[in-house]
Amino acid sequence: MTFLLTLLAAIFVLGPLIALHEWGHYIVARLCGVKVLTYSIGFGPKVFGWTSKKSGIDYRISALPLGGYVKMLDEREGNVAKDEQHLAFNRQHPLKKIAIVAAGPIMNFVIAIALFWVLFMTPSEQLATKIGQVLPDTPAAMAQLPVGDKIVAIDGHDVQTWEGINYRLAGRMGETDNVSITLQSDAQTDQSTKTYQAPVTQFMQGEAQGKDALTSFGMLPWQPQIAPIVGGLAPDGAASRQGLKVGDRITAINNESIEDWITATRIIRDNPETLLNFTVLRDDKSVQLQIMPQGKKDNLGNDYGQIGAMVDQTEIVIPDDYKTTVVYGPSESLVKSFEKTEQLAVMTVSSMGKMLSGMIGLDNLSGPITIAKVAKQSFDISWQMVLSTAALISLSLAVLNLLPIPVLDGGHIVYHFIELIRGKPLSEGVQMVGLNIGLLLLAGFMVLAIGNDISRLF
């Protein structure tokens, strides 16, 4: 059942993005006077579809849902009647060819901007960007960031939400440098700011790999103070098997004092398959236990620990000074959607460069299995998360398709720019060599990405 829901979520999110990407190619080709033969969602054998009686275009859904294509009349792919030669793609001016090829990725950019615009216009109550906790032995601790101060900028870029902070920090993945954190203190009546320098070394790599950017950096938003008292136990969990009981109060783990449930959870999650020394208070007596968290994997394949202990449900009240309502008007939302699209596109390209240079591992590359699992997870959270996930995937499709690899749109654009400058296209032999190299590169990336996906399952 879970597999079916994951598949349906992936189809629901990816299907429209692929269809609209191909529609970009399709509509611009028709506007440029090129005859379209086939509009396909997916590759391989035709599953179902229809042929337009008016235009003769074959609209189809194909068996392999890993993309799509628009087939146009082209003398390089078969004989073309003399009276239709002016409709062939290969006969068009290079600028028309560039427009047709670029239309797909541009459509994905437009989709991302539109979805971000809707999200920015949706009022939401969020946690204020005040630092709620600084984790020990982290860049935030080394910079001595004060708890309670409001984060207003990262590396000189204004931030209004924790999501924005997370993205700015994630953009520094793999780097060894100082991260600038600008804070505003409530203690200052003039609301003046102070900038701190937090040193990072191979940020989010090594032991920190798999952790989110905020945890790796060591500054977290406000979190409720929940007493570390065990309210329930999973019968097959490590906690139950190794002596923890309902009503026990966890006072220390590996000699680190525990004041709240969230701190205990963080330590447990960070230590899968590692024997931990628990000190608990039971019937006013201190009891020593050794518990090894079971190793689990999240949707992105990151390892985490779990002992099968639950806390009693308690009502959480967020202090007013740690809450904020984020709302933007239509024009401001549009500006912010363009800014966010630019920021994430630059971060995507930068991450690719870091993978190629070895600053971050190739295991950060994700394939269709991970994308499907993330899509499913977004449906479990909210409609806003579904739109956000769709926007991020659409943006990734745009950037990836614009890479100058011959088999991708970006490679074809390079060919047509060369044709524009030379006044004639490259020879078919040269183009075929490039396409073969592109296919090998793309196949290599796909094998690596799917391999990473599979490794995250086990």
Looking at the annotation, which residues are catalytic?
A: 22
| Residues β-bridged to residue 276 | 291
Cα distance between residue 202 and residue 455, in whole Å: 23
The pair of three-digit structure tokens given for residue 424, joined into one six-digit string: 């004639």
Cα distance between residue 455 and residue 380, in whole Å: 24
Element (H, E) at 200: strand 193-200
Secondary structure (DSSP) of 6-74: HHHHHHHHHHHHHHHHHHHHHHHHHHTTPPEEEEEEEEEEEEEEEE-TTT--EEEEEEEEEEEEEEE--
Q: How far is CA 380 from CA 2, 4, 118, 385, 453, in A?
A: 12, 14, 20, 9, 21
Contacts of 335 (CB under 8 A, 6+ apart): none
Cα distance between residue 218 and residue 145, in whole Å: 10
Helix (H, G, I), strand (E, B) or coil at 194: strand
Cα distance between residue 154 and residue 388, in whole Å: 22
Cα distance between residue 388 and residue 365, in whole Å: 20
Cα distance between residue 122 and residue 444, in whole Å: 41
Secondary structure (DSSP) of 321-364: GGEEEE---HHHHHHHHHHHHHHHHHHHHHHHHHHHHTSS-GGG
The pair of three-digit structure tokens given for residue 256, joined into one six-digit string: 């680190």
Helix (H, G, I), strand (E, B) or coil at 276: strand
The pair of three-digit structure tokens given for residue 406, joined into one six-digit string: 């011959």
Element (H, E) at 127: strand 124-127
The answer to whether 378 and 13 have CB atoms below 8 angstroms apart is yes
Backbone angles phi, psi at 249, to 5 degrees: -105, 120
* Rg of the chain over all Cα atoms, to the nearest angstrom: 27
Cα distance between residue 374 and residue 386, in whole Å: 9
